[in-house]
Amino acid sequence: MSTAIKVENLSKAYQLGTIGTGTLSRDLERWIAKVRGKEDPFLTIGEANDRSVKGSSDVVLSLNNISFDIQQGDAVGIIGRNGAGKSTLLKLLSRVTSPTSGSIKVKGRIASLLEVGTGFHPELTGRENIFLNGAILGMRKKEIARKFDQIVDFAGVERYIDTPVKRYSSGMYVRLAFAVAAHLESEILIVDEVLAVGDAEFQKKCIGKMSDVSKGEGRTVLFVSHNMGSIKALCSNVVILQNGSLNFQGDIDTGIQKYVSINAKSPSSIYQYSSLDSNKSFFTYLKVIDSDRKQRSEFRFDEEILLECKFSVLKEHLNAKVSIQVIDKSERIVFTSEVGVSDYTNKENFKPNLDFIINIPSHLLVPNVYRIKFTLHIPNVEYLDLLQDVLEFTVVETGTDFHIYGNTDYGCVFVNCEWNLISTN
C-alpha cells in the first residue's frame, strides 16, 4: 500500500475583521518585510483558532502545522467541532485556496465535493447542466457522455432531463448534482457534508455509493461530517482536528471515543454552590461524569452517563424527595427519576450531606443535547431547591441504527421492541 496524500507541516492563516483602509498599512509592512527577506511579521504572532477567547492578534491560524499521511484506498473521516479547521483543510486539499506554509503531496486525480451542484445554471436544462457541472469537476466531455445514462438513472430525474433545473424540486436538484459528482472517475474523492441533504432513501443511496467507491473500487475517500454514524458506516480511520491542530489519527473506534472526550471541561457539565447556608436544603455539587468518574460533556450512545449529585438537607425535610428530569432540545421531558431522602438517612442518626452517583443506562437516549433539571422537593407541598439549566450533556451520533436519518426527530429513546413474524405471503 502506498501513500496517496501526504500532508506536511500545513498551516493556513486567516485575517479577522474587515478589509479596508486600515489593512493597507499592514499589507505594506508585510510587503517590506518580504522584500527585505524577513519572515512575515504577522504570521509569527498568529494564534490558535479558539473562537471563544479574545485573542491579541487578528491573524488566526485556522490550521496550525499539521502533518499526516493517508494511504491509498483508505476511507478516512475528518472530524472536529465547528471551527476546528475541517473546511479549511478541505479547501486546501481541493486547491480552492493555497496554504500559508507547508505542503500537500497528492498521488492521483482529486475530485472534491465541497458543495453539490457548483456551477449549476438555473436556466439550463438538466442535460446541459450535467455536462457543465461534470466539466467544472474536471471530467472530459466524452467521459460525461459515456456515463450520462448512469447519472440520470442514479438521480432518477429522467422525465425532467430537458427541463431547466430552476423548475426542479430542491430534492431533485440535489440528487442530480450528487449523481454527477458520484460518477467522477478520480483516485481520490473528498466529500464535505453533502449527505445531509435529500430524503433518507437518497441518503442511503449516497452512502451506498460512497462505500462502493471506497471499498469496491479501492479509491481513497476523505469524508467530513458531523454525523459520526455515517462516518462510522463509511470510514475505517479518522483524523481529528481541534482548534486547527491535529489531535488524533487512527482507527475509528478509538477516534470516536477521543472525539467525545475533547472539551470535557465544559462549564455546563459541572455546578458548584459556593456559599454555605445551613438554613435550607440545597444542592451543593453536580457534575456529569463518565464511567471512569471523569468529567465529560459528550457521550457515545452506547456508553453509560453518570451524574454526581451532592446535596444537604435540613432535619425537618426528611420527607423530601430528590429527583432528576432529563429534558431534550425540544423541551420534551424524556424521563423522571427520584428517590426519597428518608430512605438513606433517618431522625435518629441524621446525616445532612448526601452524595449520589446516578447512572443513566447506555443505549437509552438518542443522539441529542439534553439538560437535566434537579429538584429537591416535598411532594406536592414545596420546592426546596430547583436547578433548571445548570447541567447539560450531549449524546453524539456514533453509529446508531438510525444514523441515516440525520437530524430527523425519531423519538427520544431507543426501545428494543420484540418483532415477531407471524406470517409472510
Nine cell digits for residue 116: 453539490
Which of 132-140, 257-265, 320-328, 397-405 is the region at the interface with other proteins (rule: CB under 8 A)?
132-140
**What residues from 61 to 80 belong to the interface with other proteins (CB under 8 A)?**
69
Residue 6 CA neighbour count, 13 Å, CB half = 5
Cβ-in-10-Å burial (0-12, 13-18, 19+) of 334 comes to middle
Is 398 near other proteins (CB under 8 A)?
no
Q: Counting contacts by CB under 8 A, is residue 101 touching other proteins?
A: yes
Provide the CA 306 distance to its chain's centre, in angstroms: 23
CB 16 within 8 A of CB 59: yes
Tell me if 76 sits within 8 A of 20, measured CB to CB. no
The strand pairing partners of 324, in sequence order, are 337, 374
Count of C-beta atoms within a 10 Å radius of residue 287: 19
The distance of Cα 239 from the centroid of its chain, to the nearest Å, equals 13
- Cα–Cα nearest to 80, from 222, 247, 232: 247
In DSSP terms, 48 is beta-bridged to 61
**24 contributes a contact to other proteins by CB under 8 A:** yes
Judged by CB under 8 A, the stretch of 19-27, 74-82, 281-289, 297-305 that binds other proteins is: 19-27
Total number of residues that touch other proteins (CB under 8 A): 48
Closer residue to other proteins in complex, CB, 73/138:
138
User: Is residue 3 near other proteins by the rule CB under 8 A?
Assistant: yes
- CA dist 65 to 11, 82, 248, 388, Å? 5, 19, 14, 42
Asked if 102 touches other proteins (CB under 8 A), the answer is yes
Q: Select the residue interacting with other proteins from 30, 42, 55, 114 (CB under 8 A).
A: 114
Q: Is 369 in the site for other proteins (CB under 8 A)?
A: no
Residue located via cell numbers 449529585: 309
- Binding other proteins by CB under 8 A: which of 98, 380, 416, 423? 98
Strand positions, DSSP E, 341-378: 353-360, 368-378
Q: Please identify, using beta-carbon distances, which residue of 19 and 381 lies nearer to other proteins.
A: 19
In this structure, what are the phi and psi dihedrals at residue 75, rounded to the nearest 5 degrees? Answer: -110, 115
By CB under 8 A, residue 131 contacts other proteins:
yes
- Give the whole-angstrom CA distance, residue 139 versus residue 174: 19
In this structure, the dihedral spanned by the alpha carbons of residues 154, 121, 111 and 186, taken in order and rounded to 10 degrees, is: 50
Instruction: Indicate whether 126 belongs to the interface with other proteins (CB under 8 A).
Output: no
Q: Contact with other proteins (CB under 8 A): which of 110, 177, 206, 213?
A: 110
Shortest reach from residue 23's CB to other proteins, in Å: 8
Which element (helix H / strand E) includes 27? helix 21-35
- Considering the rule CB under 8 A, would residue 249 count as an interface residue with other proteins? no
Tell me how far, at minimum, the Cβ of 184 lies from other proteins, in Å.
11
Q: Establish if 112 lies at the interface with other proteins (CB under 8 A).
A: yes
| Options 83, 86, 91, 282; binder of other proteins; rule CB under 8 A | 91
Q: Which is nearer to other proteins, 142 or 347 (CB)?
A: 142
Q: Does 2 bind other proteins (CB under 8 A)?
A: yes
Residue from the set 16, 28, 136, 413 that interacts with other proteins by CB under 8 A: 136
Q: Does 100 bind other proteins (CB under 8 A)?
A: yes
Contact residues toward other proteins (CB under 8 A) are: 2-3, 6, 14-15, 19, 24, 27, 69, 91-110, 112, 114-115, 118-119, 121, 123-124, 128, 131-132, 135-141, 164
